[in-house]
Structure formats: C-alpha cells, structure tokens
Amino acid sequence: MPLTNRLEYYKTLAASEAKELQQELKEKISLQGLVTAPQFVAGADISFDRGSELMHAAIVVLQLPALSPVARSLVTDETTFPYIPGLLAFREIPVLIKAWGQLQQKPDVLILDGHGTAHPRRMGIATHFGIEVDWPTIGCAKNILTGSHDKLGLEKGEYVDLKEGEERIGMVLRSRTNVNPIYISPGHKVSFDDTYDTVMKSLNKYKLPETTRQAHRWANKLRKGEAEPGYVEY
C-alpha cells in the first residue's frame, strides 16, 4: 500500500487496531548500524495550541561537527488521532511525513521527539517513522514510557541501559552534568552505539540535542505565525 494511503488508513484505526499494527511492524525493525559516520543530523518536533487539532511540524538539518544549520522544512496540518501513551506515532507521523517529503536535503540520521525501541511493543514514534520512510532514526525523549534502570552518574556522557526484563530497549543518558537525564533509543537502521554516539555529537551546552532544540524552536515559530510553512535551505 502506498505511503499516502497508509497515513489515511491510520486515521481510521481504533486504539486496539493500532496496537495490532505495531505488533506487525515490529518485525521490520532493523538495528543494523550506520555504514558511515553521520555528517548531517536532523531533528523533528511538533508544536500545537492546547485543544487545537492543528499540528505544526518542523524538521531541521544540521551539519556536524559544528551543528551549523543546513535546511528546514515546516508544515502545518490537522490531526485526527488523539494522544494516547504508546500510540503517539498515529497522531504525529502524518504531518511529520509531509515535512519529510518536503525536505530536499535528507540527513544521515533523524532524531525524533519521543521513543524508538524504548516502547512497550518496541514501536515508538522514531521506530515507526523510520520504517515508514525507510531511513535511519533515533528516539530522544524527556520522559520515560516503559522500562527500568540502575542509578545513573551525574557527569555528562554517563549512561545506563534502559531495560524491560532482560531486554535492552534504550539508554538513560546524562546529557548535561547535574541535570535530569534524557531517554534515547534506536529508532530504525541504527545500532545502540550509533544512538549514543549520534546523540552525544548532537549535544552542546544544553540538556537536549541541538537538533531537538532547533526543531522545537521552528515548530513554535510556525505555530505563532513567526515563520512561514515551506522548505528553506541555508
């Protein structure tokens, strides 16, 4: 089924059906590592007014190692799926894929807001998105959804595995010294090592990766009418 039709199909799904679809898609996950060191990393995020069905999406591409801006894609669209923990992808993926399709300069890897394999069925939004567009993705969340972990050191760069039972599903990373950690996990077509390395390279002086920060910034500008939808290359 064509991608466009799949996205329309998502909107018709009941929660139970969405979960079944995740169980099927789970078989397509690849944790094969990246072939070459990434030079371009991108961040994706969504902003919206509470109570509104309008979703404002931003994807920004940055170049390593300086994290200098390369391009951005902004799209506004309406969602028809509610926010349900564990089913975030069905709500946000449609507009993100529109932004992705508009993006000319594709990055080596895309970091999304939310989890990848650190999900009850290993199908967080980063993994789901990666499978749909067949591209390397990483999940980076500010809060935990599932799993448990040991105590974590306070220095930037330290991490512990996030596990569900005996299975490693992600990592809890101290992205900035003495600040609450972030939760990172492979999305699709990246390894756990790629996930850690890429996120570390995307960090500067803040808690969140610069990719995430820039995507958040532009999504907010779009929502507030301070930026126009469309594609821009720098």
Partner DNA sequence: GCGACAG
Partner DNA sequence: ATCTTGTCGC
Give the residue numbers of the binding site: 45, 113
3 state SS of 231: strand
Residue 16 as a binder of DNA (CB under 7 A): the answer is no
Q: Which is nearer to DNA, 67 or 96 (CB)?
A: 96
d(CA 2, CA 45): 24
Pick the binder of DNA from 89, 95, 97, 190 (CB under 7 A): 89
Pair 147, 124: CB distance under 8 Å: no
Residue 114 as a binder of DNA (CB under 7 A): the answer is yes
Name which of 99, 94, 89 is nearest 127 in CA terms: 89
Name which of 155, 107, 151 is nearest 129 in CA terms: 107
One-letter amino acid identity for 194?
D
Contact window for DNA (CB under 7 A) among 33-41, 45-53, 94-102, 191-199: 45-53
Q: How far is the CB of 41 from DNA (least distance, A)?
A: 18
Binding mask 123-162 for DNA (x = CB under 7 A): -xxx------------x-xxxxx-----------------
Contact window for DNA (CB under 7 A) among 7-15, 164-172, 195-203, 215-223: 215-223
Tokens of 133: 């567009």
Give the residue numbers of the binding site for Mg(2+): 45, 113
d(CA 213, CA 3): 28
d(CA 46, CA 93): 10
Contact window for DNA (CB under 7 A) among 29-37, 58-66, 102-110, 112-120: 112-120
| Count, residues near DNA per rule CB under 7 A | 30
| DSSP per-residue letters across 158-193 | -EEEEEETTEEEEEEE--STTS--EEEEEEES--HH
Q: Which is nearer to DNA, 67 or 222 (CB)?
A: 222
Residue 113 as a binder of DNA (CB under 7 A): the answer is yes
Which residues pair with residue 208 across a beta bridge?
none
185-115-122 Cα angle (round to 5) = 80
> Which phi and psi (to 5°) does residue 114 adopt?
125, 180
Q: Which is nearer to DNA, 70 or 144 (CB)?
A: 144
d(CA 52, CA 197): 37
Q: Which is nearer to DNA, 192 or 218 (CB)?
A: 218
Q: How far is the CB of 65 from DNA (least distance, A)?
A: 25
Contact window for DNA (CB under 7 A) among 32-40, 61-69, 113-121, 161-169: 113-121
Binding region for DNA (CB under 7 A): 45-50, 83, 85-89, 113-115, 119, 124-126, 139, 141-145, 178, 216, 219-220, 223
